[in-house]
A and B are shown apart, each in its own frame.
Chain A
Amino acid sequence: MPPRDPNTDQKRPVFLDLRRIRFPPQAIASIAHRLTGVLMILAILPATWLFAISLSGPAGFARAGEVLTGIPARLAGLLLALALAHHLFAGIRYLLLDIDIGINRVTARRSALLVMGLAVIAGLGLWWGLWA
């Protein structure tokens, strides 16, 4: 019998029980990198709208300020600050991995945890700095 080809074999074993798969920090950082990217893509159009009204004149500039200090913008700002911080730090980690820095499993695990810790601290700090 020829060996099974894992790409075409329809009877290959598949294990996708999400409750029982264990996600190492590297996997969580990777999924978070995607989620935060998508979140920031969603913010591009609203941000462009804010940019537009802020430059439409002194009244528009004041209006943009009001929108930004409202509760919805504060909440969105918190999410986006955390997203930006994570995406930036995780991105730097990937650029380093690209050039083989921190590529071994133990280091990669530690750097993934470091990225997530730094992201929470820097994200909250950024939000605090911008809105408090």
Chain B
Amino acid sequence: MSGLSAWLIQRLSALYLAGFTVYALVRLAMAESFSHAAWSDWLAAPLNAVTLWLAALALLLHAWVGGRDVLLDYVHPLGLRVVMLTILAGWLLGSGIWFGAILLEVM
């Protein structure tokens, strides 16, 4: 993923994440009860689950494009660059798979 597609993905994911962040904070401020039951019920509702799946996807893509740009700009030795890009990919993919597995379980 590079060039125009990365540029476009970065901006589309930014728009979604900006909207989602504001929504999530407002929703959190409006929450009436904090309990495991209320939390997992909220996540199990289909609309909330879809919103969260999309947010996770947008976040991972956004973090990959942005983190990759930063590494390519500042890390020049090829070996170190490959290692750091691999760590970044593992960090994001690991988090994403873990998050997806939990969400599937709650649904």
A51-B70 in contact (CB<8A):
no
Does A52 have its Cβ within 8 Å of any Cβ on chain B?
yes
B contact residues, range: 20 to 34
Given A37-B67, A95-B15, the answer on whether A44 and B95 have CB atoms closer than 8 Å is yes
CB-CB contacts below 8 Å: A92-116 with B: 92, 95, 98
Write the nearest CB–CB distance from B41 to chain A, whole angstroms.
Answer: 11
Does A84 have its Cβ within 8 Å of any Cβ on chain B?
yes
CB-CB contacts below 8 Å: B52-70 with A: 59, 63, 66-67, 70
Write the nearest CB–CB distance from B101 to chain A, whole angstroms.
Answer: 9
B21-A41 in contact (CB<8A):
no
A92-B18 in contact (CB<8A):
yes
Instruction: Please report whether the interface of chain B is mostly helix, strand, loop or mixed according to DSSP.
Output: helix
Q: Which residue of A lies closest to B74 (CB)?
A: A34
B43-A126 in contact (CB<8A):
no
Write the nearest CB–CB distance from A34 to chain B, whole angstroms.
Answer: 6
B59-A44 in contact (CB<8A):
yes
CA–CA, A98 and B43, complex, Å? 35
Q: Which residue of A lies closest to B25 (CB)?
A: A126
A37-B70 in contact (CB<8A):
yes
A-B contact list, 21 entries, CB within 8 Å: A34-B70, A37-B63, A37-B66, A37-B67, A41-B63, A41-B66, A41-B91, A45-B94, A48-B99, A55-B36, A55-B40, A55-B106, A57-B36, A60-B36, A61-B35, A65-B34, A91-B18, A95-B11, A95-B15, A98-B11, A129-B29
